[in-house]
Chain A
Amino acid sequence: MINLTMDGLKISVEPGATLLDVARFYGANIPTLCYDEALSPYGACRLCLVEIGEPGKSRLVSSCTYPAREKLNVRTNTVRVMQTRKMIIELYLATCPSSKTIQDLASKYGVTGVRFSPKNEECILCGLCVRMCEEQMQAKAIGFVDRGVNRRISTAFDRKSEQCRLCGACMYICPVCQARCQGPSEESTLCNACLNLSPPCLENNDHTLCYMDPCAACELKKKTNQ
């Protein structure tokens, strides 16, 4: 067994578990866009960032790809993690505002403005469909093409694929193309219709594990203040 600390909690886990597995098992709230239990982790969406290492020398890693290791100090809910995550969500919103999954994330994490110019892409290149096609459907009909800003998902040589069985698994797993959000305004690319206005505990405590939605402690505090 591997012993590690997560959000101040001393826990021991089976070897081979990733930090995301551990965090989710213990109820920490970590969002993902490119992760699925049935597929190999890829670490592309960068939303599942957690802070590892002692304060002062810590760094951010994607929890879905990082293996649990002995004596690791993991914090899933710090100001640094949250600020980075908010910025990433803002980038996602500017890139792909029509996704309900992303708009929901924005509401949940309190992203109330987008400062980048809107792009309206159809794909966030999370690679779920590619892995689904390869690992679960054993078809390998689609894959990544090119690199950097030109990267896209396509069939081999952009031709109609003979491997594709039209099973639709790629569409099923896509976080962007199934659930559409009709709300976002054209300029701000933001919907915020589902915005949850109860604040997380972060402002009060950097290390608190808060997975309640809304958080009872915060609500209580608000009430007493009133």
Chain B
Amino acid sequence: MDLEAPKIKSAEEFFYIQRNYQKQYRDNNRFIVICGDTGCTARNSKAILGNLDRCLKEKDLSETVGTRFTGCLGLCESGPLVIVYPEEILYHRVIPDDMLEIVEETVLEGRIIDRLIYRDPSSGEKYAYARDLPFYKKQVRNLLGGNWKTDPTKIEDYIALGGYEALVKAVTEMSPGEVVQEVKEARLRGRGGAGFDAGLKWEECFKASGRKFIICNADEGDPGAFMDRSLLEGNPHAVLEGLIIGAYATGAREGVVYIRSEYPTAVEKIKTAINRAEELGLVGDDILGSGFGVQIYLSIGAGAFVCGETSALIASVDGRIGEPVQKPPRLVQHGYLDRPTVVNNVETLANVPHIIKQGAENYRATGTEASSGTKIFSLVGKVNNTGLVEVPLGMTLREIIFEIGGGIKEGKAFKAVQTGGPSGGCLPASYLDLPTDFESLTEVGSLMGSGGMIVMDEDTCMVDLAGYFLKFLADESCGCCFTCREGINRLLELVQNISCGRGSLDQLDLLKELAEVVKDSTLCGLGQTAPNPVLSTIKYFEDEYRAHILQNKCPAGVCRALITFEIIESYCNGCGLCKKNCPSDAITGEQKQTHYIDKDQCDKCGICFSTCRNEAILKQ
């Protein structure tokens, strides 16, 4: 690519350049995609890329076969993923040494390598082509689909696949008011958690006068959720395009991407994207000769969870302590530098180009009446296919967990699913047929949140789980409001008391009472939703709390203070494996004789339980 390409001055020039890129893309349709997202990189996908380059060089194929190191391909469970185009053959769990075989067999001979193709863990069926996988088939990958074929560092790929068309359409054919109207009609709701109508927000900012700002909120910090990061790492131009259109519609001439420093790759990718778009004249002054211009800046946050709250985010962009402030005045009136400011989530912005391109009517066809479009969930926990899934809003939890997620691992029973990150609620099996949209989830005491979805099986203790999330929130609370700082801390203390067997029924009542007070009296969303894990687990799994309190038992066998390990004499063959592995030397016994556990010395780590081959260890 010629780096000194002149800036695009008009829609005609854009389409001319696009045709060139499309021709280039079509001519080089033989390429290999390697997933470069965190999960796959952790499993050595960078070495796979290196090996592939070497193999291609050896076979003299460097000119004809392209490589793309892309963002998340979705099926993180089976990483590293490699897809061979144009056939779309998907190989999973690839190791660097497999690359030679893939080049020799698949690229040169066109044969499919049987041992590397995906096998469904529940049905055992094999799928060679990515489009056939049940995991992908049920999904509607409007936003994530781009990740498959685009190199996130190359603007050429994005433009060739129809990127920036929406921007051209908005800037050259529509007035800002029309863009706002279109987004409003599409009923695009904020994907960051609250589900506020993005069109309404834009309209209010559009009506305000003077200097305005638009901010992209990429401060994603939920444990186990990585939707925004994957979008920014896999398809940064889609987010950027949404941001530019947003600036055009709201009348903001300055845009900020607020991103946490814990996401170095995403920072790198969005930085490259902004630079490349600037070079082509899609960011900067006088975009496409329309007279509209926007400057995009990057603001790196220090990684506080609370900075995802919009007013705290603005304080952080401003260089102050990330603390939420009282609204009203609302940010669309008094935001950054006291000017009207719109803050949109990454995923919300990534939806905007789709709305402009296909029109509000078509966009509304996916999803439900009140919640239109698709939503990305990060499906994690005890499911077979963990990863990123994108589904139309309103799909039931059952479909997501059992059909896309492939059911619970090791055939265990489903117990609960937690939606909406640390401050969401846990829903039991009876709510599996609940549609996932903003209203339904809030109604039953959970949240849509930013899209975290943690699945739990029968081995999860709900008291322990509530404690885990409270611990996270106690650490991440900014500490300004007394009820949030001290309240969450006391909730944690009570929950820990119960999980240690020191609880009482009075304490359970106090826990409920305090949780309601914290929910009621705190300033920002973090504190108001923090008691959700406690309240929802008490609501749906009160039995478990009672078992901890009244019988001093942890039904799931998780809370260490309440479980004991014992060896069943008739099952023990004296192999000595447990004795060898016990870190606290609590197991005694001669070779080939029954072993015994000294309960006073036992640390309850459970290593003996998992190492015993004869199931002779009894956990109670």
How does the 8 Å CB contact mask read for B221-262 relative to A, with 1 for contact and 0 for none? Answer: 000000000000000000000000000000000000000000
Instruction: Report B405 CB to chain A, min CB distance, Å.
Output: 33
- Kindly list chain A residues whose C-beta atoms are within 8 Å of the C-beta of B480: 42-44, 127
CA distance A88 to B490 in the complex (A): 12
A151 lies within 8 A of B490 (CB): no
A46 lies within 8 A of B485 (CB): no
- Kindly list chain B residues whose C-beta atoms are within 8 Å of the C-beta of A88: 482-483, 517, 521
Nearest residue, chain A, Cβ from B324: A43
Instruction: Report A21 CB to chain B, min CB distance, Å.
Output: 14
Knowing A125-B479, A147-B306 are in contact, say whether A87-B326 is a contact too (CB < 8 A).
Answer: no
Q: Is B476 an interface residue (CB 8 A)?
A: yes
Knowing A116-B490, A149-B474, A149-B479 are in contact, say whether A43-B521 is a contact too (CB < 8 A).
Answer: no
CA distance A111 to B480 in the complex (A): 24
B487 lies within 8 A of A125 (CB): no
How does the 8 Å CB contact mask read for A90-112 relative to B, with 1 for contact and 0 for none? Answer: 01101100000000000000000
CA distance A115 to B304 in the complex (A): 32
Q: Is A144 an interface residue (CB 8 A)?
A: yes
Q: Is B444 an interface residue (CB 8 A)?
A: no
Knowing A88-B483, A91-B487, A147-B478 are in contact, say whether A43-B523 is a contact too (CB < 8 A).
Answer: yes
Partner of B520, one of A84, A127, A149: A84
Q: Is B477 an interface residue (CB 8 A)?
A: yes
Chain B interface residue count, CB cutoff 8 Å, equals 33
For the residues of B in contact with A, the DSSP-based class is: helix
Instruction: Report B467 CB to chain A, min CB distance, Å.
Output: 14
- Kindly list chain A residues whose C-beta atoms are within 8 Å of the C-beta of B329: 67
* Segment with Cβ contacts to A, from B184-192, B270-278, B506-514: B506-514
Interface of chain B residues 438 through 461 with chain A (CB within 8 A): none
- Kindly list chain A residues whose C-beta atoms are within 8 Å of the C-beta of B328: 66-67, 69
Partner of A125, one of B304, B482, B483: B482
Partner of A148, one of B474, B482, B517: B474
Q: Is A156 an interface residue (CB 8 A)?
A: no
Instruction: Report A52 CB to chain B, min CB distance, Å.
Output: 11
- Kindly list chain B residues whose C-beta atoms are within 8 Å of the C-beta of A147: 304, 306, 476-479
B475 lies within 8 A of A148 (CB): yes
Q: Is B481 an interface residue (CB 8 A)?
A: yes
List 30 A-B pairs, Cβ < 8 Å.
Answer: A42-B480, A43-B480, A44-B480, A44-B481, A46-B483, A46-B521, A59-B520, A60-B520, A65-B325, A65-B326, A65-B523, A66-B328, A80-B520, A83-B517, A84-B517, A87-B517, A88-B482, A88-B517, A94-B490, A95-B486, A115-B506, A126-B482, A147-B304, A147-B477, A147-B478, A147-B479, A148-B478, A149-B474, A149-B479, A151-B485
Task: Beyond the given A125-B482, A147-B476, A149-B479, please list 19 additional residue pairs across the A-B interface where CB-CB is below 8 A.
Answer: A43-B325, A43-B523, A46-B482, A59-B520, A62-B326, A62-B523, A65-B325, A66-B326, A66-B328, A80-B520, A91-B482, A91-B514, A94-B490, A117-B493, A125-B485, A147-B306, A148-B475, A148-B478, A149-B477
